[in-house]
Each structure stands twice: as structure tokens, then as C-alpha cells.
Structure 1
Amino acid sequence: MRNIFLVIRREYLVRVKKKSFLVMTVLGPLLFVAFYGTVFWAAASSVDTKTVQVLDESGLFRNKFKDSETLKFVFTDKSIDSAKAAFPSSEANALVYIPANVIKAPKSVRIYAAKNVSLDLKSDIEKVIEKEIEDIKLAEAGITHKILEDSRVNINSETISLSEEGEKTSSSGAATVIGGICAFLIYMSVFIYGTQVMRGITEEKTSRIVEVIISSVKPFHLMLGKIIGVALVGLTQFVLWILLTTALTSATSAIIGSQLSKESVQVAKEMNKAQVPGQGMPGGNVDNPVTEVLGAVASLNIPLIIGCFLFYYLGGYLLYSALFGAVGAAVDNDADTQQFMLPITLPIIFSFVFAQFVLRDPDGTLAFWTSIIPFTSPIIMMVRIPFGVPAWEIALSMVLLILGFMGTTWIAARIYRVGILMYGKKVSYKELVKWIFYK
């Protein structure tokens, strides 16, 4: 046990003290926040007010085009030929021609510009014209636009879980998002840190350092120490990423939020006031998006999700890293690892693919069996848990994952004890099976 602890301590300190670890631990959140800030900055700075000339021969759209923060409409009474001739010298970005027979021939509308107009600008202009033509045709049929709008109903149902504890509000959207994020994080961590174990063992083997280490440490203790040591490194980096990203994202959001214009805030308030009482939250209050998000997250069993995430994160890593370690001990260089990587990575990839179907039916047969099998349970079970999973299924999945880790570790140890000192031999699957049953 003491030797395992020494190996864990060495593996942890060697990797944590590396400049690459420190740089990536700090640089990862900074890059994420930089991307996050750049997107918002680009979205805010790319909004330019465009001027659009409108030549309306029908006279139906004089007051229908409304100015906004991005569009300014200017009407002209010139003929189409004169308007086109004067357009290049004007400051307008586009010229909209609406013929007199637009009701009978709506496709006769033309948009002229020095260059191609953007899809958004074209869409905005077309929507205004389409809406006015619809209103005119509905009025001719004796139906006002208001009657049509009143007939449209927006259903926003509330999901409630019925259990022995009674009724409890739930959120399918929040469960889907949280489950997907947890599954993706486990998927990435297994690949990143499992590969680190494999490469670390391969480097020590090729440099012959392992020959010195094996003289004082049993192969199984060495392999187990490496696996746990790298797991702690990954967990440390993971926790630091969460803390730094949360802090930086909060600071960036506060800075961006303080720069929002008062007009935008006022518009949001007016839109909230304009909503019909009783269509929001209970009691006639207006729906608040922030409140809805917080309520959706609060409806989930957060302590259970965090606890299960840590267990399946470590369990999935330990199971696969043992196999990665066996591959690293069996080969002499990184090029030879490719032939043995496919059987290990396929279950991980299949798990991520199956997760897309499990999100649609978290209680189906596929969801149950893939969340029980140790090779797929770390990802699939984390997709299911936010939706609610019976305690016995979680317990069975955890027990099988522990047994799976013990089994893969035993197999990896049998391969490791022979392969770690094997040089210059091309290893095959048949040879690996022989190593497992060597006495």
C-alpha cells in the first residue's frame, strides 16, 4: 500500500508541477471566456443602421415600414427609372420597389442594391410586405388581423413528477441540458486522461526507466499508482477549470451587462408589461426568463447529480485507463498503439452516440441496458439521472461499474507484468491473451 501511495504522489506531483499543466489550467478558462466575450462583442459591434429607400406605387405601405435600431426607411415619390438613376449617389443601402399591382402579383416586388443585400435585410422587408398583403386579403374576407391573432394559442405546459413524496415540479429541458453536459464531460475526460496514462507508461518503457522502478515496486502497484495519480491530476484540473471559468464568466457577464443600453432595458420592460396577465407565472405575473431558468435548475436533484457525476467520472476513467495502461505496456511506441485502441474507444464512442437516443427516451430498454453495462454506464447513466432513475438501478449500475473496474484492472495487470519488460516484439491479440493466462 505504501508503494502505491508513493507512485500516486510521484505521478501527481510530476504532472501538476509541469509548466504545461499550469499554463493549460489558467489558459483554458481564459480562452473560453475570451471566446464568450468575443462572440458578444462581435454581435454588438456588427449592428449597423442601414438606410432603405422605398418606392411604393401602391400607396399601401406608407406607414407600415417602421424604423428600428438597425433599419431606417426613407420613402420616395420618384419614378422607378429616376430612383434607380439617383440610387448610386445616395447613401441608401437598398431600394425597394413595390408596384401598384402588388396585391395580385406579390412576386413583382424588387430590391435594388449596389451589392447583394444580406439575407436578414431581405427577410425583414419581405415580412412587412407579406403581413400587409395578408391583412388586406383577410379584411376583404371579413376577418381582421386581430381576430386571427386572438385565435392563436401558445401552450406552455408544466411537467410535474408524481412520486411517493408527492407532487414535484420537473423540467425536461433542464434535465436534457444537464444530462448532455455531464455525459460530454465524462466522454472527453476518459479520452484525455486515459491517453495520458498510456503515453506515460509507453515513455517510461521506451526510456528503460521502468526497469529501475520495477526493481522496488510490483508491476500491479506501479500501474495502479499511475492510474490513480493521473486521475487526481485530472480531477484537480477539472475543479480548477470550473472555479476559474465560473469566476471569469461572471465577471465578463457583469461587464457586458453594464454596457447594455438603457433603451434595450426599457424595451424589455415594455414587452413584459404588454403581456396579458395570467399568461405568465401563477398569480398573473409576467414570465421572467431568468426566474424560469433558476426554477428549472432548482427542480432537479442537484446533490444527487453532482455525487453521481463524481462517481461515474472517476469510475469511467478508472475502468478505461486500466485498459489504456495495458496497451501502453504492450507496445514500444505510439505508432503501435493504434491497432489496440479501436476495441477500447469503440464503447466510448457508442456510448456518446447512444446518449442521443437515450435523451429522447430515458426510460426505454436501450437506456436501461446501456446504463447498466459498465463500459457504457458512465455516460448513459449521467444522461438519465436528471430525468429521475430508480435507486435500485443506480445502485446496480454502480456495483457493476466497480466490478467492471476490478475486472479490467486484473486483465490490465496481467498484461502489464509481462509487457512492461518486453522489447522489440510485435505484439498481437493472440499474444495478449497468452500473457493474461501466464502463471
Structure 2
Amino acid sequence: MKNIFLVLKREYLTRVRKKSFIVMTILGPLLIAAFYGIIGWTAMSSISLKKIEVIDQSNLFKEKFKNSEELNYTFSAEALENAKKSFSKSGYDALVFIPNDIMTNPKGVKIFSEKSLSIELQRGIEKNIEREIETIKLTEAGITQKVLEDAKMSVSSETISLSAEGEKSNSSVAATVIGYVCAFLIYITVFIFGVQVMRSVMEEKTSRIVEVIISSIKPFELMMGKIIGVALVGLTQFALWILLTFAITTAVTSLFGKKFSASPEQRLEQVKKMPQAQEIEKQVVKETNGGSPYVKIMKAIQTLPWVTILVCFIFYFLGGYLMYSALFGAIGSAVDSETDVQQFMFPITMPIIFSIAIAQFVIREPDGALAFWTSMIPFTSPIIMMVRIPFGVPTWQIILSMVILSAGFIGTTWLAGRIYRVGILMFGKKPTFKEIGKWIFYKG
């Protein structure tokens, strides 16, 4: 145990003292925020206004299409053939032709363009035509526009869980987001820190330093020291990221809190003396009833079982990392160069890649058979169980999954240790899966 602690201490201190660790720890939250901010900005800025020329032979849709931020319609009385000839110089993105018999032949609509239309643009045009056809048919049936508008209602429901403890509000959207984020963090960290263990083992093996180290410490102790040391580095970085995020959030709140922290009731009193007070009062009342996006988001976040999520995240982060890192360490001990790594990494990384791929199906049915069994298998449970937990998982399933994962870690570590003790001193030979299998049963 003493030797494991010495290796652990060396691995931990060596990494946390690096400039790259300090820089990434400080800039990590900012870079992540900037990354998603750029994605959002890029997605919004990539949306451009599309100009659509419409030739309506039926004269039923003239000026009926509503322009939006994405689509702008211009009706033309020009003949179709002439419009097609002058289309390249017209500046329009698409030419829509609505035939005279559109009511009996809805498939007669034609859309012309110089380049292939995007699916969104095509569906936007089709939906506008479909909507107007429905309105025309309902109007012919004696249903007025006012009745149609009054019939359109926006339903916003509140989901409530019934349990032995009573009624509890919940939010499927918040559960989906938090579950996927936790699973993705485990997925990324297993790869990042697992590869660090593998590279550390390979560096010591190729430099022959390991021959000196092995003379005073057992191979298993060396492997465990490296695995646990790198795990503590990952936890340290996570803890610092959480503290920095909390500090930044607190600072921003203290600077701008007076402007945004007032309750809807307080804001209602403040705006009564302002111009257009009635309109503002309606908005504040709407927020008081939980209608604003901000209030809804805060309520959704508060409904999640945060204690369970945090405890399980730490356990599955450590369990998944320790299990996979033992295998990564075994790979590092078996190979001599980077070129030999890929053939052994693929079968090991397949389960975790499979887990993140099926996470979207588990989110759709978190209590289904697929979700249950994949949250029990130790190679997939760290990711799948974290996807399920925000939705509410029976305690016995969480305990069973944790027990199986612990057993899987012990078995995987024993297996990796058997490979490690032989592979770490094996040089100049490219191992095969068959040969590595023999290493497991070597005595000693």
C-alpha cells in the first residue's frame, strides 16, 4: 500500500504542477462556454432570408402567405415560362408554381431553383400552402377565420411524479439535458485520462525506466498507483472547475443582481408608475404564474434530485474511469509504439462508444428493457445509468448497478494486472490477442 501511495503521489504532483494543467483548469469553463456560444452564434448567423417568387394560377393564395425572418414571398402575375427564363437574374432563391387545380391536385405544386433546395426551405413552403388550403376548406364549410383563431390554443402542462413521498414536480427537459451532460462528461474523461495512463506506461516502458522501478515495486502496485493518481488529477480539475464556475456566477450575480433579482411581485410594483404600465403588468403577471422562460428553467432545475445525481456522478465517474484505465494501462504495457495501439484500443473503446450512441434511445424510454440492461452491464453502466438517474431510478436498481460495476472493476483490474506484469518487461515483439491471452495464465 505504501508503494502504491508513493506512485500515486508522484503521478498526481507531476501533473498538477504542469503549466498546461493550471492553464486548462483556469480557462476550461471559459473555453467551454465560448465553444457553445460560438456554436449558437454560428447557427443563428447562418440563417439568411430566402426570397421566394410565387406564381399562383388559382388566385387563392395571393398575399395570404405570411413573411417571416427566414422566408419572404413575392407574388407575380408573370407567365411561368417567362419567369423560368428570367429566374437566374431575378435575385430570388426559389420560384413556386401553384396550379389552377390546387384544391383537387395538391401534388401539382412545383418549386424551381438554381441549386438544390434545403429540406427546411422546401418544408417551409409546403407548410404555408397546406395551411392556406386547410383554411380555405374550413371557410367553405362555414367556419370563419375568427373561429379558427379562437380554436387555436397553446397548452403548457406541468408534469408531477406520484410516489410514496407524495407529489413532486419534475421536468423531462431538465432531466434530459442534465442526464446527457453527465454521461458525456464521463465519456470524455474516460478517454482523456485513460489515454494519459496508457501514455505514461508506454513512456516508462520505452525509456527502460520501468526496469529500475520494477526492481523495488510490484508491477500491480505501479499500475494501481498510476491509475489512482491520474483519477485524483481528474477529480481535482472537476472540483476546481465547479468552484471557479460558482465564483464567476456569484460575482456576476452580485454585480447585476439588483437589476435581475427582483421578484415578479416587486417588479409589478415598480412598473405601475411607468409608461405603458398595463402591458408591462401583464408580462409580470405572466412571469408570476410561471410563464416566463427564466422562471420555467429555474423551476425545472429545482425539481431534479441533485443529491442523488452528484453522488452517483462521482461514483460512476470513478468506477468507469478506474475500470477503463486499467485496460488502457494494460494496452500501454503490451505495446512498444503508437502504431501498435490502435488494434488493441478498438475492442476496448467499443462499449463506451456504443453507450453514448444509444443514450439518445435510453432518454426516450429511460425505464425500458434496453435502458435497464445496459445500465447493469459494467462496461456501459457509467454512461447509461447517469442518463437515467435524473428521470428517477428505483434505489434497488442503482445499488445493483453499483455492485456489478464494483465487481467489474475488480475483475478488470485483476485481468489488466496479469497482462501488465508480463507486458511491461516485454520488448521488441509485437503481441497478438492470442499471446496476450496466454499472459493472463502465466504463473508468478
Give TM-score scaled by structure 2 length.
0.74
Using the TM superposition, name which of 94-103 and 219-228 deviates more: 94-103
Please show how residues 404-423 of structure 1 align to structure 2 within 5 Å.
404-423=408-427
Distance, in Å, in 1 between the alignment partners of 2:396 and 2:97 is 69
CA contact (8 A) 1:32 1:245 kept: no
**Match in the other structure for 1:299:** 303
Distance, in Å, in 1 between the alignment partners of 2:52 and 2:148 is 30
Distance 1:373 1:131, change over 3 A: closer
**Match in the other structure for 1:261:** none
Distance, in Å, in 2 between the alignment partners of 1:424 and 1:142 is 88
Identity %: 60
**Match in the other structure for 1:204:** 204
Does the residue aligned with 2:202 lie in a helix, a strand or coil? helix
Give TM-score scaled by structure 1 length.
0.75
Distance, in Å, in 2 between the alignment partners of 1:270 and 1:97 is 43
Give the superposition deviation at 1:139: 2.2
Give the superposition deviation at 1:318: 0.7
Q: Kindly report the root-mean-square deviation, in angstroms, between the aligned alpha carbons of the 2 structures.
A: 4.4
Does the residue aligned with 2:411 lie in a helix, a strand or coil? helix
Distance, in Å, in 1 between the alignment partners of 2:361 and 2:122 is 38
Pick one of 342, 347, 353 that aligns with 2:351: 347
Distance, in Å, in 1 between the alignment partners of 2:120 and 2:372 is 45
Pick one of 309, 314, 318 that aligns with 2:318: 314
Give the superposition deviation at 1:340: 3.1
Q: Return the letter of the residue paired with 1:420.
A: I
Pick one of 394, 408, 425 that aligns with 1:390: 394
**Match in the other structure for 1:288:** 292
Pick one of 371, 376, 388 that aligns with 2:380: 376
**Match in the other structure for 1:12:** 12
CA displacement, residues 308-346 of structure 1 (integer Å, 9 cap, x when unaligned): 001110111111111221222222223333343344223
Does the residue aligned with 2:162 lie in a helix, a strand or coil? strand
CA contact (8 A) 1:7 1:222 kept: yes
Distance, in Å, in 2 between the alignment partners of 1:105 and 1:415 is 71
Distance, in Å, in 1 between the alignment partners of 2:408 and 2:86 is 78
Give the superposition deviation at 1:149: 4.8
Distance, in Å, in 2 between the alignment partners of 1:34 and 1:191 is 22
Please show how residues 313-332 of structure 1 align to structure 2 within 5 Å.
313-332=317-336
CA contact (8 A) 1:97 1:110 kept: yes
Distance, in Å, in 1 between the alignment partners of 2:128 and 2:369 is 50
CA contact (8 A) 2:56 2:97 kept: yes
Distance, in Å, in 2 between the alignment partners of 1:19 and 1:106 is 66
Does the residue aligned with 1:373 lie in a helix, a strand or coil? coil
Q: Return the letter of the residue paired with 1:185.
A: L
CA contact (8 A) 2:63 2:75 kept: no
Distance 1:379 1:87, change over 3 A: closer
**Match in the other structure for 1:336:** 340
**Match in the other structure for 2:403:** 399
Distance, in Å, in 1 between the alignment partners of 2:365 and 2:125 is 42
Does the residue aligned with 1:425 lie in a helix, a strand or coil? coil
**Match in the other structure for 1:263:** none
Using the TM superposition, name which of 340-349 and 8-17 deviates more: 340-349
Please show how residues 158-197 of structure 1 align to structure 2 within 5 Å.
158-197=158-197
Count of matched residue positions in the alignment of Structure 1 and Structure 2: 417
Distance 1:88 1:19, change over 3 A: same
Does the residue aligned with 2:355 lie in a helix, a strand or coil? helix
Does the residue aligned with 1:383 lie in a helix, a strand or coil? helix
Q: Return the letter of the residue paired with 1:320.
A: Y
Does the residue aligned with 2:426 lie in a helix, a strand or coil? coil
